[in-house]
Amino acid sequence: MKWGRAGLVAAAAMGLTAAVQHALTVRDRRRFPPPGLLVNVDGHPIHLQARGPDSGGPTVVLEAGMGSFSPNWHWVQDELAPIVRSVAYDRAGLGWSRPSRRQRDAQTIAMELRDALREAGIEPPYVLAGHSFGGLPVRAFADLYPKLITGLVLVDASHPDQWVRWPTPHADRILEVSQRILGWLGWFGLLRVLNLSRGISAGLPARQAAELRAGAALPGSVATEAAQIRSWSVSREQLNAAAPLGDLPLAVLAVSEQPVGAELLTALQRDLAELAENASFEIVQGASHESLISDREHARVVAKTILSVVHAAHDRERQAEFSRGPTA
Which sign, positive or negative, has the C-alpha torsion 311, 64, 247, 142?
negative
pLDDT at 3 over 60: no
pLDDT of res. 1: 47
Query: DSSP label at 181?
Result: H
Question: Among 7-21, 94-108, 112-126, 299-313, whose mean pLDDT is lowest?
Answer: 7-21
- 316 pLDDT band (50/70/90 cuts)? confident
Q: What average pLDDT does range 233-248 have in this prediction? A: 96
Average pLDDT of the chain?
A: 90
> What are the sequence ranges of the domains in the chain?
32-323
Q: What average pLDDT does range 192-214 have in this prediction? A: 88
CA separation, residue 149 to residues 95, 138, 142, 173, 266 (Å): 25, 10, 7, 33, 26
pLDDT at 11 over 90: no
- 190 pLDDT band (50/70/90 cuts)? confident
179 class by beta-carbon count within 10 Å (0-12 exposed, 13-18 middle, 19+ buried) = buried
Q: Is the pTM of this model over 0.85?
A: yes
pLDDT in tens, 116-139: 999 999 999 999 999 999 999 999
pLDDT in tens, 43-72: 999 999 999 998 878 999 999 999 999 999
pLDDT in tens, 258-310: 988 999 999 999 999 999 998 999 999 999 999 999 999 999 999 999 999 99
pLDDT of res. 12: 65
- 324 pLDDT band (50/70/90 cuts)? low
How many residues are present in the chain? Answer: 328
CA separation, residue 225 to residues 22, 48, 168, 176, 296 (Å): 21, 19, 20, 8, 26
Domain 32-323 class in CATH: alpha beta
Task: Count helices and strands (H / E) in the chain.
Answer: 14, 8
